[in-house]
């Protein structure tokens, strides 16, 4: 049973560029959430997708956008990259209505902006 998979594992970009990160949820899960984790900090909620719509959003600017596909996989896009966007980006999946079930996290994409 494949868990949450993310690609790529590492990425180096230059300020001002755009980046797309990808996530496939755990089998049986239909909801995908994205988190940003800066070094030494806990993950910060970016947004959540269910039924191909953004359902909730954290305190992140519009430069951060996403998409969910019919197969439940998801993309996170970040435009006009800033140095401060350097972080570990974590994708987490869950199943709607499974309130006692934890989020399952992927291993993340380490983004470095130079």
Nearer to other proteins, 85 or 105 (CB): 105
Q: Which of residues 14-53 bind other proteins (CB under 8 A)?
A: 31, 33, 35, 40-45, 48, 50
Q: Does 96 bind other proteins (CB under 8 A)?
A: yes
**Residue closer to other proteins, measured from CB, 34 or 78:** 34
DSSP code of residue 9: S
Q: Which two tokens stand for residue 102?
A: 């934890």
| Shortest Å distance, C-beta 11 to other proteins | 15
Q: Min. distance of Cβ 83 from other proteins in angstroms?
A: 21
Q: Toward other proteins, which CB reaches closer, 17 or 32?
A: 32
Q: Report the distance separating Cα 46 and Cα 97, nearest Å.
A: 21
Contact (Cβ atoms closer than 8 angstroms) between residue 46 and residue 64: yes
Where does residue 49 fall: left (phi above 0), alpha (psi -120 to 50 degrees), or beta otherwise?
Answer: beta
């Amino acid at each position: 049973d494949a868990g949450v998979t993310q690609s790529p594992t590492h990425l180096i970009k230059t300020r001002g560029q755009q980046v797309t990160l990808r996530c496939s949820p755990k089998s049986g899960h239909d909801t995908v959430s994205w988190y940003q984790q800066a070094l030494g900090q806990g993950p910060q909620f970016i947004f959540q997708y269910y039924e191909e719509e953004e359902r909730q959003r954290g305190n992140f600017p519009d430069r951060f956008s996403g998409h969910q596909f019919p197969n439940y996989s998801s993309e996170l896009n970040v435009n006009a990259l800033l140095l401060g966007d350097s972080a570990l980006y974590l994708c987490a999946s869950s199943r709607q209505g499974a309130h006692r079930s934890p989020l399952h996290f992927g291993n993340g994409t380490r983004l470095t902006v130079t």
